């Protein structure tokens, strides 16, 4: 047992660790206060405080007239949480988010599984994500956090194939950043930011700075996050009495230099181009005034307006939401949207 910190928290941490490793029989009573006092060499008050903490966190439950047993959370907690993040290798934001999810999960006492998806195209990574999900399901993880597939015509179908691997085994699923289909709520918990408000905030800032012709750039088959950001910018323009139509939306992959140059040369020329993320904004010619989303310093040599995502809070909220879903598998699905910064 760890020799630092209050005694009851040391007992709590040791018992929680054992629970997550599956050292206690699910059908048997949890060790008595007397047994725990002898094991740890502590007082009854210390044991009761530790047990109270475990009950408050949902690992133990008291049954009237019977004793203390492992809860539904403990019964489903194998000690492993799977992460399926197709854009981990290609996106600075999702790499940062994946790393924060690993830290948040470890802090909660879980072993975090973050499989590599090395494919060099969205299609390759999406199919690798399907295989990874099936591997996690075979390992019977306690739960899984999934970034839905994007940038493909059949993105929603592939994401449904991923979640189906867990549904059949009743393994809880949390969606991160966005839902499966644009503008449709699925039956899964979702954790992300309020992208509509993020776009509105950024649009208002650009207009306050003098922009009167604002364009929004995003790749074809974009995720709902990008569409909502665009709608927020459009709302800011309409609110200010500016023109907004389909001509203000540029559906181009920023790596397609020829298509990008053609789009930016079209008349009328934009005062500012809002890109769906900072990585894209950093790729545009320096002759173009740009803005972006994520706030992760994609190109520190070029400063531009950006809406920051609170990455650590998103990760911590996702882990806590997963633990709540394990405790209450039949609760209605929730959508938790944090405020952008």
Confidence bin at 110 (pLDDT 50/70/90): confident
Least Cα distance to 188 among 292, 55, 336, 36 occurs for 336
**CATH number of this structure's domain 195-308:** 3.40.50.2300
Task: Measure the CA–CA gap between 226 and 198, rounded to whole angstroms.
Answer: 10
Within 8 A by CB and 6+ apart from 308, the residues are 294, 295, 296, 340, 341
User: Measuring CA to CA, how many Å separate 327 from each of 34, 217, 281?
Assistant: 28, 41, 42
CB of 241 closer than 8 Å to CB of 203: no
In total, the chain counts a number of residues equal to: 341
CB of 126 closer than 8 Å to CB of 86: yes
Least Cα distance to 116 among 134, 132, 136 occurs for 132
Please compute Rg for the chain using Cα positions: 24
Q: Could you tell me if residue 139 is left (phi over 0), alpha (psi between -120 and 50 degrees) or otherwise beta?
A: alpha
| Architecture, CATH, for domain 78-193+311-338 | 3-Layer(aba) Sandwich (3.40)
Give 296-319 pLDDT, tens digit per residue. Answer: 765 566 889 999 999 999 999 999
Fold equal for 78-193+311-338 and 195-308: yes
As beta bridge partners, residue 290 has 273
Which of 28-32, 57-61, 184-188, 201-205 shows the lowest mean pLDDT across its residues?
Answer: 57-61
Cα torsion through 89, 90, 91, 97, rounded to 10: -10
Give 31-72 pLDDT, tens digit per residue. Answer: 999 999 999 999 999 999 999 999 998 889 988 888 899 887
At 118 the pLDDT is 86
Task: Measure the CA–CA gap between 310 and 296, rounded to whole angstroms.
Answer: 10
CB of 69 closer than 8 Å to CB of 63: yes
**CATH number of this structure's domain 7-75:** 1.10.10.10
Which sequence spans correspond to the domains of the chain?
Answer: 7-75, 78-193+311-338, 195-308
């Amino acid at each position: 047992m760890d020799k630092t910190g209050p005694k009851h928290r040391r007992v709590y941490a040791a018992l929680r660790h054992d629970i997550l490793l599956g050292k206690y029989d699910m059908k048997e009573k949890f060790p008595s206060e007397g047994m725990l006092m002898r094991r740890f060499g502590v007082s009854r008050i210390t044991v009761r405080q530790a047990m109270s903490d475990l009950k408050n966190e949902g690992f133990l439950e008291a049954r009237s007239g019977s004793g203390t047993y492992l809860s539904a959370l403990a019964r489903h907690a194998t000690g492993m949480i799977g992460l399926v993040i197709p854009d981990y290798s290609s996106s600075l934001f999702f790499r940062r988010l994946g790393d924060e999810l690993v830290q948040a999960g470890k802090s909660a006492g879980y072993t975090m599984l973050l499989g590599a998806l090395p494919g060099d195209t969205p299609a390759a990574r999406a199919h690798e994500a399907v295989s990874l999900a099936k591997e996690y399901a075979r390992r019977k993880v306690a739960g899984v956090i999934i970034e839905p597939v994007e940038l493909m015509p059949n993105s929603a179908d592939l994401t449904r194939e991923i979640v189906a691997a867990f549904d059949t085994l009743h393994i809880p699923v949390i969606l991160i950043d966005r839902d499966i289909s644009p503008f449709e709520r699925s039956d899964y918990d979702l954790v992300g930011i309020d992208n509509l408000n993020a776009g509105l905030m950024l649009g208002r800032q650009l207009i306050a700075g003098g922009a009167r012709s604002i364009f929004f750039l995003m790749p074809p088959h974009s995720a709902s996050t990008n569409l909502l950001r665009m709608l927020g910018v459009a709302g800011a323009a309409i609110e200010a009495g500016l023109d907004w139509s389909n001509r203000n939306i540029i559906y181009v992959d920023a790596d397609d230099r020829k298509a990008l140059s053609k789009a930016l040369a079209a008349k009328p020329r934009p005062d500012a181009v809002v890109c769906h993320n900072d990585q894209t904004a950093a790729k545009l010619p320096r002759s173009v005034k740009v803005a972006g989303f994520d706030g992760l310093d994609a190109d520190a040599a070029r400063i531009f307006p950006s809406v920051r995502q609170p990455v650590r809070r998103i990760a911590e909220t996702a882990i806590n939401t997963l633990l709540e879903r394990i405790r209450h598998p039949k609760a209605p699905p929730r959508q938790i949207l944090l405020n952008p910064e």
